Structure 1
Amino acid sequence: MESTTVYILETSDIHGHIYPYAYGDLKNAPIGLGRIATYVKRMRKRCDHLLLIDNGDLFQGTPLFTYYIKNAFHKRNPYIEILNTLHYDGAVIGNHEFNYGMDVLDQCKKEAAFPYLAANIIDNRTKQPYFGTPYVTKTFTNGIKAVVLGVTTHYIPNWENPSHITNLEFLDAFETTKKWVSFLQQSENPDLMIVSYHGGFEHDVHTGKSTGENPQENQGYRMCHEIQGIDVLLTGHQHQMLATEVNGVSIVQPGMNGERVGTIKVDFHLDNGKRKIAKKKSSLISMDGMPVDKKIISIVEILEKDTQEWLNETIGTIDGNMHIEDPFLARQQEHPFIEFINKVQMDATGVDISCTALFNDKVNGLPTDVSIRDILSNYIYPNTLSVLELTGEDIRQALEKTASYFMITNDGKLGINPSFTTPKPQHYNYDMWEGIQYILDIRLPIGKRVTSLTYKGKPLQEKKRYPVVMNNYRAGGGGGYPMFKNKPILKEIQLDMTELITNYFLTHQTIQATCNHNWKVIL
């Protein structure tokens, strides 16, 4: 008997990160393709049989890619050049790949030395997969044959600008996977059947309990349980860190921004010419401490230099004062910076009720002359936006949750509830609203502090439904807001807030620092 090993490496949800730092403060971080390249090259030296796949959302997320699209699109796509240099075997199309329109994707198809895989994205004109062959086959020198099928969440039309997906049809990811796996088992007879799915799990992978995730957007758990013949499922989209087995299927999901590489070791035994899987092991390899590959960084060195200069350019001005001198005071009475963020959210979605948070006590607000770096320093999370359909009672419950942020100290002053500071600061879970008028009376018990709540001058109706925009984290119930979980989603905006704020400045140039004082906290 002879044994042999195949390694599968997965990157997913890189979101534009090549350099090992965040663009708001340039602090060193264990992220990016620069570090990943070092790990990939080390593994190639160690392993004779290696398969390297990107699982989607490679682009959107950093100023580097935004600058490339706006100012250097006539040049080769640096991200495709990096994947070519690292000899990727294939890449799946993620939902964010569509954010910049089909011209970007068509250019990627031409420049890529690897196949783009998306079995369930169909060209309406030809009725064939738009990106060509939906799977890739690789036969290693030891004779082991691996097949990788690529699919992506079919929920993309619910988010994307229709002009960016003209002539495309998005078939159900589960049904497409089931059909193709069955076909490939017969036609290719692989020793190793891999599905790379830009989607995640609708159930907890350990307990099987529903997580509240949309079962149409994320179908990974169902794939593992209901589709026969899958050996490995590479996932992403949710930005979770997962490495385990689900119903005998080895799964990985490596977080986001290149902080981890999903790695699956598959041991085979060969007996009389028959190859069988003896053992599989999933793991996540952290990029913390991994050196940056200088060759990969050199590919984007000039573009990055230009990007950094662009980040420091003034893109708009503030007429008035949006500087935050006292974060605690800014949570007690409306601040122009918070009103501005809510205005951007409402403008992007076309609704007139919005909520947002002052994420931490280091946020300084905006100076008179605003650069993109100022925006990144103030809006520190890569949030997108969701519009939920909420009842008046849902909104009241959310305001009661936010009112629990405050407490009265022993000396009778307004303080912060320790549950928002211990064991870690959670100022981002205190929301401030625009489009409604409300009063929070902290003298009253928690749960009964909303003493006035109106919309357009009339009391908010308990059972009436209202469209409300908020960030995607909060829309999922994150931060202790169960009243938002599983509520109807009317609209989603897939550009993150830093891009939306930047675009708002580029459109309006001068922003008035206004404050309509639609809410107040009383003691």
Structure 2
Amino acid sequence: MKRGYLIMGLFLSTLLTTTISCNSNDRVYPEEEVNFTIVQTTDIHGMIFPYNFITDKEENTSMAHVSSYLKQLKNEGKTILLLDDGDSLQGQPTVYYYNFVSTNEPHIWSEVLNYMHYDAVCIGNHDIEAGHNVYDKMAKELKAPLISANLIDENTKNPYFKPYAVIEKNGVKIAVLGLIEPAIDRQLPKVLYEGLAAEDMVESAKKWVKIIKDKEKPDMLIGLFHSGANYTDDKERYKNENASQLVAEEVDGFDIVLVGHDHQGWSGLGYDEITKQKNKEVKSPSGKIVPIYGGVNAARYIVSIDVSMKYDKDNKLWNAELKGELVDPSKFEADKEFLYKFSDAKKNIEKWVGRDIGNLNTKLVSDEAVFGDSYFLSFIHNLQFTIAEKELSEKADISFAAPLSKDAVLNNGIIKVKDMFNLYPYENFFYIMRLTGKQIKDAMEYSYGRWFNTMNDINDHIIAFKKDLNGELIFNNRYNSYDTVTPIYNYESSAGLNYTIDVTKPNGEKVIIESLSDGRAFELDKEYKVAINSYRGSGGGGHLIQGAGIDLKTLQNMDLVLKSTDKDLRYYIINWFEEQNNAVTVEKLNNWKAVPENYVEAAKKKDYKLLYPYN
């Protein structure tokens, strides 16, 4: 069993017999039964090789393993409809190298998709995060269409990429409609998708299903959505980030919906995250069962659906049988031909990530940052102050930062390029924003209100954990720990301020700011220069929108951004390390703490075991 990636009850085959209405009278349909297999990959995040360039360890899943599975299907005589659901241009140094370093060569991801003969590819939010130059280049290099109906040109209002693909397999005409999760407008800086906008998925699906049905008259319609299946955790239905099930329930016409983005693994039937009820049927407005499938990130599990179709001439409809499962590619050996094909690329990436860039005297671990002031975030905060002054010629008053991974470790000793992907996993740009003291205070209250529980006594939890309808903590089999109210990458702390967090106070009253760290008084009505990454500065996590009450359009237009870098933070961190003449020793800022300290220490011992049971 792979630690942290077991999804209980999902890896059984599901069998569904259905009818697919056909609205074409002029086509000649096959007399015999038609068979083909749908295979979906999603959220690969650069896991092309069976090797993790960050940890320097071999892996037993990768696109090379997927390639072996596809060859087995072909050897069995199966026809394959091969689809990818996005989020591949961020994660491993593999793709970063081709995004931003080796930019004059064909992108390795385009080359992989072409080599494996993909039929259609949906774009994901982390693909957009790579920027126009990268995804525009990929769209030109791909032989398969790059699709997304709801990512539109702001001027023409037309889809920026192709909205859908039409593919024929053994005489069956299949339309594949692509949709991207629309929350990119509060997750990513506008510079990354200048001139583009994301529409609501339900509204876009209603429009394009009608166009597809009228114009293309397909025998089967597949939704290829880079969006999670479950929308129940979100209060807003409009522009919901995880709206795939919502689309299936509100838009007639889909025969299958394939999902990504949530990294959860879906085996054909709905799943209610709140009640934990599995095998809940998802039905369209007309009552048709719409199976929902979705793989797990980094090629850990992929979707495989055997489709058998027989045309009923009398009733003018297809009778279809779908037998789907989540396949574990680690059961297959990595494809040697695949590895040979891309061996030169692997050597180039290994050489780049293995380059020495500095030396560190202090071990940095992100688990410390989950419970209070830490060496880990002190290092990030100080780097942000330095980058603000050195690269943007602005002296920031305050820094906002969060641990972007709950398990990050940067060991002391020689630091290499690959270590920066562990320290800072995402390609965030860097902003200097002007915020009032009140906006800063409100954003901090929002952060700590979702981070820390309100403790009534010393036996309470300090971490705000999710609870089910019975008030019990929710154990997550996939991560082998208990779910928190907000992801740990939203545990935003501040530097440049001296403050305490009273965990016995209600939300909105937890933060007590004493002064700025340089001794100046902190004033609610005064404006300050804040060092912040682009995810948070664009509204990601809700700190500036729900917390500080800043309008999303204001953030999108970057009205509060004084200056921005034109490269991601990791780029500047690498450069900073290379400029140091001596080994780096990190000092803890000691600018904040949670109180009462006896409550905090007692709860930390208990909650650490819930978050890190494997340590």
For normalisation by structure 1, the TM-score amounts to 0.75
Task: Find the counterpart in structure 2 of residue 323 from structure 1.
Answer: 363
Letter in 2 for 1:307: I
Q: Aligned residue for 1:234?
A: 258
The change in CA–CA distance for 1:112 and 1:316 in structure 2 (over 3 A counts) is same
Equivalent position of 2:4 in the other structure? none
Tell me if 1:279 matches 2:309. Answer: no
Q: How many residues align?
A: 488
After TM superposition, give the deviation of residue 280 of structure 1 in Å: 2.7
Q: Does 1:195 align with 2:223?
A: yes
CA offset digits 1:352-400 (Å, max 9, x no partner): 3535359678835443x53123334556x66979999845654554575
Map of 1:518 onto structure 2? 591
Of 177, 180, 187, 1:152 maps to 180
Q: Quote the offset at 1:182 in angstroms.
A: 1.1
* Distance change (3 Å), C-alpha of 1:325 and 1:134: closer
Does the C-alpha gap of structure 1 residues 282 and 374 become closer, same or farther in structure 2, counting only changes over 3 Å?
Answer: same
Q: Closer, same or farther in 2 for the Cα pair 1:327/1:201, shift >3 Å? A: closer
User: CA deviation digits over 1:55-92, x for unaligned, max 9?
Assistant: 11222211112222333222222221221121111111
Alpha-carbon distance in 1 for matches of 2:365, 2:165 = 56
Distance 2:208 2:151 in 1: 13
Q: Distance in 1 between matches of 2:84 and 2:451?
A: 41
Question: Which has more strand, going by share of residues?
Answer: 1
The 3 A distance-change label for structure 1 pair 181 and 62 is: same
Between the aligned partners of 1:446 and 1:190, the Cα distance in structure 2 is: 59
Q: Of 347, 350, 365, which residue of structure 2 is paired with 1:305?
A: 347
Quick one: structure 1 residues 374 and 103, their matched pair in 2 at CA, closer, same or farther if it must change by over 3 Å? closer
User: 2:479 aligned with 1:434, yes or no?
Assistant: no
Structure 2 CA distance for partners of 1:402 and 1:507, relative to 1, 3 Å: farther
Tell me: CA distance 1:499–1:189, structure 2 relative to 1, closer, same or farther (3 Å): same
Q: Any conservation in 2 of the 1:438–1:453 contact (CA below 8 Å)? A: yes
Return the offset for 1:435: 4.2
Q: State whether residues 95 and 152 of structure 1, in contact with CA within 8 Å, keep that contact through their aligned partners in structure 2.
A: yes
1:89 corresponds to: 119
2:510 is the alignment partner of 1:454: no
Matches within 5 A, 1:180-259: 180-203=208-231, 209-212=232-235, 215-216=238-239, 217-245=241-269, 246-247=282-283, 248-259=289-300
| Ranges in structure 2 where 5+ consecutive residues have no aligned partner | 1-30, 270-281, 284-288, 434-438, 461-472, 559-566, 599-615
Equivalent residue in structure 1 for 2:398, among 352, 372, 378: 352
1:416 — aligned with what? none
In the aligned structure 2, how far is the partner of 1:3 from the partner of 1:504? 59
- Does the C-alpha gap of structure 1 residues 202 and 445 become closer, same or farther in structure 2, counting only changes over 3 Å? closer
Give 1:91's aligned amino acid: V
Match of 2:416 in 1: 371
Quick one: which amino acid aligns to residue 309 of structure 1?
K
Q: Give the letter for the 2:36 counterpart.
A: V
- Of 28, 33, 49, which aligns to 2:79? 49
* Range 451-460 or range 509-518, more displaced: 451-460
Report the Cα offset of residue 197 of structure 1. Answer: 1.6
Answer whether contact 1:399 1:450 (CA < 8 A) is retained: no
Q: Deviations over 1:274-322 (max 9, x none)?
A: 451333344221223321112222232112112112212133456xx43
Are 1:202 and 1:213, in contact at CA under 8 Å, matched by a contact in 2?
no
CA shift at 1:342, angstroms? 3.5
Describe the SS at the equivalent of 1:178.
helix
Q: Distance in 2 between matches of 1:396 and 1:169?
A: 31
- Percent identity of equivalent pairs: 25
Shift of 1:32: 1.9
Secondary structure of 1:129's counterpart equals coil
What is the RMSD computed on CA atoms of the aligned residues?
4.8
SS of the residue aligned with 1:222? helix
1:176 alignment partner in structure 2: 204
Q: Alpha-carbon deviations, 1:169-218, whole Å to 9, x = none? A: 44433222211111221222222111212222352xxxxx4455774133
**TM-score for the superposition, normalised by structure 2:** 0.65
Task: Show structure 1 runs of 5+ residues with no match.
Answer: 204-208, 409-418, 478-482
